[in-house]
Amino acid sequence: MGSALAVGPQPTVFPSYREHAVALLRGVAPDELVAQWAGRTFCGWDPRRLRFFPYTLVLAAQTLHGVGYSLGQRLQGREDFVVVYVGDGATSEGDMSEAMNLAAVESASVLFVCQNNGWAISKPADEQMRTSVAERAQGFGIEAVQVSGQDPEAVFSACARAAAHVRGVRAPYLVEIEVGRIHGHSTSDAQEVYRSRDDIARTRAADPVTAYADRLAGLGLVDTAWLDAVGAEVRELRERLMKEYA
């Protein structure tokens, strides 16, 4: 959410398959998202009007799509700022290297946002790469920064600076956001098999969503009644969607 709010509504977003909050912020309805997950439609919304393209299940394919789209928009004299979301595991795909190289060489107006949760299914980050994703981007000639995802305001600030760079210099930028993975890679992934229970417990205890809600409550910006009302609304919506798309 910090990244999406920082760049504003103008850039076109090329998501991976986890950017549900970004989709909702861009105006995609929950029903439209679930329809795509259920295979009822290729894309339940108008990607050009909302500037939010369909989810990409082929790892890192969206990185090349995003860079190509940005360059094509520039050639036509249109808004060429593009945001590409990618996970740490997908950065190991050749498409990511090709996309970063092309973006750097052509000075594409692309902001790469990498959500690094430290795992590519069961493969830990230190067995995937010898450098950070941000350092790898710098090797291609792309300005990059690594930031903790525990504080959404810090993410907002980092992405706002990155967006200003993309707009001002008309060149790519990469923000690597370090986050914790609370659940398994999927509902069929038993992460307890390859991950210690202590590690999982520590990550859950440090849930940034809970921590930020507590922080806002401590500042008097929200109260328990408001949070409970939001929780009830979400539960009702979830139950309805599960019934309709079961």
Task: At 196, list the tokens.
Answer: 């210690």
Domains of the chain in start order, with CATH, are: 2-195 (3.40.50.970), 207-246 (no CATH)
Q: What is the pLDDT of residue 120?
A: 94
- pLDDT tens string 174-217: 999 999 999 999 889 999 999 999 999 999 999 999 999 999 99
Sequence letter at residue 77: G
Please provide the DSSP assignment of 109-175 as one string: -EEEEEEE-SEETTEEGGGT-SS-HHHHHHHTT-EEEEEETT-HHHHHHHHHHHHHHHHHH---EEE
* pLDDT, tens digit only, all 246 positions of the chain: 999 999 999 999 999 999 999 999 999 999 999 998 888 888 889 999 999 999 998 999 999 999 999 999 999 999 999 999 999 999 999 999 999 999 999 999 999 999 999 999 999 999 999 999 999 999 999 999 999 999 999 999 999 999 999 999 999 999 999 999 999 998 899 999 999 999 999 999 999 999 999 999 999 999 999 999 999 999 999 999 999 987
Query: Mapping DSSP to helix (H, G, I), strand (E, B) and coil, where does residue 59 land?
Result: coil
